[in-house]
Amino acid sequence: MNSDQNKIRNFCIIAHIDHGKSTLADRLLELTGTVSKREMREQMLDTMDLERERGITIKLQPVRMEYKDYTLNLIDTPGHVDFAYEVSRSLAAVEGALLLVDASQGVQAQTIGNLYFALEQNLTVIPVVNKIDLPNARVEDAKAELVKLLGCAPEEVLLASGKTGAGVPEIIQAVIARIPPPAGRASAPARALIFDSTYDEFQGVIAYVRMVDGALRRGEQVETIATRAQGIALEVGSFRPQRVTRDSLQTGEIGYIVTGLKDIDEVRVGDTIAPHGSAASGVAPLPGYKEVRPMVYAGIFPKSADLYEKLRECMGKLKLNDAALMFEPERSPALGFGFRCGLLGLLHLEIVSERLRREYDIPVVTTTPSVAYRVTQTDGATSVIKSPSDLPNPTKIAKIEEPWVRVDVVVPEAFLGGVMRLAGEKHGIYKNTEYLSADSAGRRAILHYDMPLAMILVDFYDRLKSASSGYGSFSYEFLDYREADVVRLDIYVAEEIVEALATIVYSDAAADSGRKIASLLKETLSRQMFEVKIQAAVGGKIVASERLSAMRKDVTGYLYGGDVTRKRKLLEKQKKGKKKMMARGRVEIPPEAYLAVLKRK
């Protein structure tokens, strides 16, 4: 290892959402002189408008800092579970992690979730109690919780404030002293791990890489080992945090490579970039990442049909920058051509549709997400159901399974009862309870449950917050698939099935959901010349129904006086007209009505 490599430290900041990662990153940028006071703005590394508005980090963001004669590469990460894949990829590119805990909040569920990730990657973890400037900071409690969680010595826990800058120099000292330098071999064939990427209209795919072994120079011919795409490193460089070009990327460094490749499918996150000819001469690809598994599926459709082609192109570009997004074409009789998307959760869906609107100027409609069910047919074939219409005929289904997750809830002891009731209601299977600290007043517990993912998607977060006066937090991780008692709920309007409104529901909730959908439709459908039946059915059996009464257009209104016969004749005619329409049986379902159902909460 040469002296330069010895002076590199790669680390990321992990924490529960809002515990101050991006703000601490600001202070690190300032203290290392990476960004001048003049250029500085709050949460500098949240570069997307969407991040700045919402005050949350969505994307990982690397930055290279110089401190004395050290190079410090930091990756800021998101805190929300829906973006855990961003975190796991960041962790694979570094040797250490700062684990922040808000001094007024203590350890929260995602503190624990992220810590597990870091330990799985064998990272050196530096615990930090942050926001010590807060008037309600309980520094000693938070410290005790970290000591218990990590099994470390109390002296190892640093105290800091990303707001005032207190303790930040000590954090840098600890990064240098405790985190080992990168271990790659400078003399080995060059291999760079792609941990993220973006697309530039002119430069093509820009890969964010961790140089694991060897070096890559500007102008060098390169290839991706898994997809065997060939390109040229048109530019290489590092993030400060904007891209700054350099001559080469050396072993252990984090930076970017402008590949010139325009085909976005050729540069995949987790693939290895190496010099041209490496694959042929037997250079092994780097291990890459755990394959990301969609947790939920939802439809994304362009608001106007002529945007479909553009949407297809932009989904591809977005996927490049959002490796957890999956999609395939889908046609809906209601919404036209669009995509069925695999996502990590509801916030993920919201962010994807928002990014499409803002970054690519495509307004989209999203449909109610459902979890990824797995169906085993009587002939033994299994498949993942991405949409209710994929569900085979009930006679062919041997079993349907749903994803289960391991849920960790962190909550003050006083609220245990309420939280346990909630978890029970949500079909949670209780595993065990641990305590974060020993002190009896305000002791906080970690409750572990196994729970169907579908139960969490709906309103678990809000319910947990109200069951714990806002103190509870939760985090979850995919566990396995387990058999589920679910059925397909069909919707009929004027006795005709409306394919696009079918959903998969728990059988004991079918009637309830049916009623909800039927009444939503009743509210949104406009009245017809005839009475319209709105029904929900399971396997042909009606479980809920509503009637939308006929509109009675006053066809006689313009007649003066008492011309009764003529009046009656008109009414007769109207009746016939209704019959005719009934016979045709079609009720135009306007987009608003579909939306009301497809987007219902």
List interacting residues with ligand GDP (CB under 6 A): 15, 17-23, 43, 55-57, 79, 130-131, 133-134, 161-163
Q: Minimum Å distance from CB 46 to Mg ion? A: 6
Q: How many CA atoms lie within 13 A of 402 on its CB side?
A: 22
Structure-block tokens of residue 302: 């362009």
Residue whose C-alpha is closest to residue 327's, from 317, 336, 339: 339
- Beta carbon nearer to ligand GDP, 165 or 392: 165
Binding piece for Mg ion, criterion CB under 5 A, among 49-57, 102-110, 140-148, 553-561: 49-57
Q: Minimum Å distance from CB 131 to ligand GDP? A: 4
- Beta carbon nearer to ligand GDP, 163 or 357: 163
- Which of ligand GDP, Mg ion, none interacts with 19 (beta carbon under 5 to 8 A by kind)? ligand GDP
- Beta carbon nearer to ligand GDP, 161 or 503: 161
Three-class secondary structure of residue 478 per DSSP: strand
**Phi and psi torsions of 417, nearest 5°:** -55, -55
- Which of ligand GDP, Mg ion, none interacts with 162 (beta carbon under 5 to 8 A by kind)? ligand GDP
Question: Which residue from 16, 19, 21, 355 is in contact with Mg ion, where contact means CB under 5 A?
Answer: 21
Residue whose C-alpha is closest to residue 493's, from 600, 365, 369, 594: 594
Structure-block tokens of residue 232: 């040229």
Three-class secondary structure of residue 596 per DSSP: helix
Q: Minimum Å distance from CB 19 to ligand GDP? A: 5
Q: Does 22 bind Mg ion (CB under 5 A)?
A: yes
Query: In Å, what is the CA distance from 436 to each residue of 58, 100, 146?
Result: 28, 16, 8
Binding piece for Mg ion, criterion CB under 5 A, among 21-29, 260-268, 495-503, 518-526: 21-29
Q: Which amino acid belongs to residue 450?
A: D
Residue whose C-alpha is closest to residue 143's, from 98, 96, 83, 100: 100
Q: Minimum Å distance from CB 17 to ligand GDP? A: 5
CA distance 28 to 17: 19
- Which of Mg ion, ligand GDP, none interacts with 322 (beta carbon under 5 to 8 A by kind)? none
Q: Minimum Å distance from CB 444 to Mg ion? A: 24
Q: Minimum Å distance from CB 77 to Mg ion? A: 8
- Which of Mg ion, ligand GDP, none interacts with 499 (beta carbon under 5 to 8 A by kind)? none
Binding piece for Mg ion, criterion CB under 5 A, among 55-63, 284-292, 469-477, 517-525: 55-63
Q: Minimum Å distance from CB 350 to ligand GDP? A: 17
Residue whose C-alpha is closest to residue 191's, from 292, 109, 274: 274
H/E stretch holding 130: strand 124-130
- Which of ligand GDP, Mg ion, none interacts with 428 (beta carbon under 5 to 8 A by kind)? none
- Which of ligand GDP, Mg ion, none interacts with 503 (beta carbon under 5 to 8 A by kind)? none
- Beta carbon nearer to Mg ion, 98 or 307: 98
Contact call for residues 214 and 185 (beta carbons, < 8 A): yes
Q: Minimum Å distance from CB 116 to Mg ion? A: 20
- Beta carbon nearer to ligand GDP, 90 or 130: 130
Q: Minimum Å distance from CB 159 to ligand GDP? A: 11
Number of chain residues interacting with Mg ion (CB under 5 A)? 3
Structure-block tokens of residue 247: 């001559």
Structure-block tokens of residue 297: 């599926």
- Beta carbon nearer to ligand GDP, 61 or 250: 61
- Beta carbon nearer to ligand GDP, 164 or 382: 164
Structure-block tokens of residue 218: 């500007």
- Beta carbon nearer to Mg ion, 21 or 348: 21
What's the start-to-end Cα distance of the chain, in Å? 56
Q: E strands, 388-508, where? A: 397-412, 429-435, 444-452, 473-483, 486-493, 496-497, 503-506
Question: Which residue from 57, 88, 105, 321 is in contact with Mg ion, where contact means CB under 5 A?
Answer: 57
Residue whose C-alpha is closest to residue 12's, from 169, 170, 118, 143: 118
Q: Does 110 bind Mg ion (CB under 5 A)?
A: no
Place of tokens 């790669």: 10
- Which of Mg ion, ligand GDP, none interacts with 15 (beta carbon under 5 to 8 A by kind)? ligand GDP
Three-class secondary structure of residue 337 per DSSP: strand
Contact call for residues 93 and 195 (beta carbons, < 8 A): yes
Helices 591-598 and 510-524 sit at what angle, rounded to 10 degrees? 150
Q: Which residues bind Mg ion (CB under 5 A)?
A: 21-22, 57
